[in-house]
């Protein structure tokens, strides 16, 4: 799994949000299918993620990519906007289209 923190302008125009790109690889999906979850402990990412931000400023984008070579090329060029567009090339549900959370 690749995790890439990105600072982006918020969609509502109020400052910048932190976007955490979580890019799953094939073995991550196989692990999840076997009911073996993984944890992302943000405290371990303190050097790369501004931990003084509130959770309301954090957007998490989870994507799957079988071939990491194109992602490495975007990173080499430091083209984070291009990387996000590439990862979203098949997006059918727009941000905010999901139902709000409900208690179980």
Domain that holds residue 79: 2-87
State the pLDDT at residue 98.
Answer: 67
CB neighbours of residue 87 within 10 Å: 20
Answer yes or no: is 64 within a domain: yes
Handedness of CA 81, 78, 58, 89 (dihedral sign): positive
Answer yes or no: is 46 within a domain: yes
Answer yes or no: is 65 within a domain: yes
Answer yes or no: is 14 within a domain: yes
Answer yes or no: is 100 within a domain: no
Residue 22 near residue 60 (C-beta atoms within 8 A): yes
Answer yes or no: is 11 within a domain: yes
Quickly count helices (H) and strands (E) in the chain. Answer: 3, 3
Residue 58 near residue 17 (C-beta atoms within 8 A): yes
35-76 residue pLDDT tens: 999 888 877 877 777 667 677 777 788 888 888 888 889 888
Number of domains in the chain: 1
On whether the pTM is more than 0.85, the answer is: no
| Residue 67 DSSP label | -
Answer yes or no: is 93 within a domain: no
């Amino acid at each position: 799994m690749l995790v890439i923190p990105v600072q982006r302008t918020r969609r509502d125009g109020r400052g910048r949000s932190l976007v955490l790109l979580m890019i799953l690889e094939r073995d991550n999906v196989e692990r999840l299918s076997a009911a073996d979850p993984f944890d992302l402990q943000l405290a371990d990412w303190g050097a790369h993620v501004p931990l003084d931000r509130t959770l309301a400023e954090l957007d998490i984008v989870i994507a799957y990519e079988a071939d990491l070579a194109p992602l490495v090329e975007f990173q080499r060029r430091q083209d984070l906007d291009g990387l996000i567009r590439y990862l979203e090339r098949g997006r059918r549900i727009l941000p905010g289209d999901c139902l709000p959370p409900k208690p179980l």
